[in-house]
Amino acid sequence: MLVVSNIDLTTDSRVMNPATFLDSTVKEPILNVNNEYRYLKTGYYVSLHAEVLGNRVIPSCENIIDSSRIPILLLRAERAGIPTLPSLVTDSVKKIVSELGFPVVIFAVNPFIYDGYKTANNKSALYRAMKSLGMNYKFAVCAQPLQGEIFSIKTFFGKCQTNDLQTQNICKKVYEHFKIPMCKLHIQRTREKAYLCGLQPVGKDELSGQDLQMISKEVSLLSEQGEHFGV
């Protein structure tokens, strides 16, 4: 297994940088460790190149694209038994108000913008959120009811730094289903339950020394034990 990474890893595993890999014809399973997998970004091209070469790769291009589209992410997550809340894809403020009410949390659907999420407690805030995330109302947004506290958490190979067991379970299941080695999950926590709301890349400036150690450790373990690769 070859590790292709834009992260400075401290591991004995064989690691190649993305630029070198994209200019190669390597024929073996690829573990693509990147902080940014979105469409047309370096992480995406690494997986695409691996697939063009006929290599098995984690993550696959299909999982990269599906996980970066909030409505598809939530649909697949729900089918996989990962807790989610009802969602609505629309460009209509009226529809959101009538079907979900307030407060709501709004995510971008347009693949070329990802500004986290915005919450709205009234129509004025909702219009502002839809204008921002919908690129001046040109694109629909994905709205979800806001029933508790929403927060973001970094997760690496399905592991995260929290004592909340339900959040730990969501991180684990998202990795098992989508195989995204590193990302940031948006979780909504009510008194009774935790729900997956969204996923986005982790900025390099968000990676602490402890995060890099955790990523390197997981890469080393996978290299030693062998990862189950899906086509």
Over the stretch 34-53, which tens digit does the pLDDT of each residue have?
999 988 899 999 999 999 99
pLDDT the model gives residue 228: 56
CB 116: neighbour CB atoms within 10 A?
12
Q: Is the dihedral of CA 178, 179, 184, 185 positive or negative?
A: positive
- In angstroms, the Cα distances linking 176 to 2, 167, 181 are 20, 14, 10
pLDDT the model gives residue 227: 56
pLDDT of residue 230 exceeding 60:
no
The strand pair at 15-16 and 2-5 is best described as parallel
Over the stretch 82-138, which tens digit does the pLDDT of each residue have?
999 999 999 999 999 999 999 999 999 987 776 689 999 999 999 999 999 988 888
Tell me the two tokens of residue 25.
């014809």
The whole-chain average pLDDT of the chain stands at 93
pTM: 0.93
How far does Cα 122 stand from its chain's mean position?
28
Over the stretch 155-180, which tens digit does the pLDDT of each residue have?
999 999 999 999 999 999 999 999 99
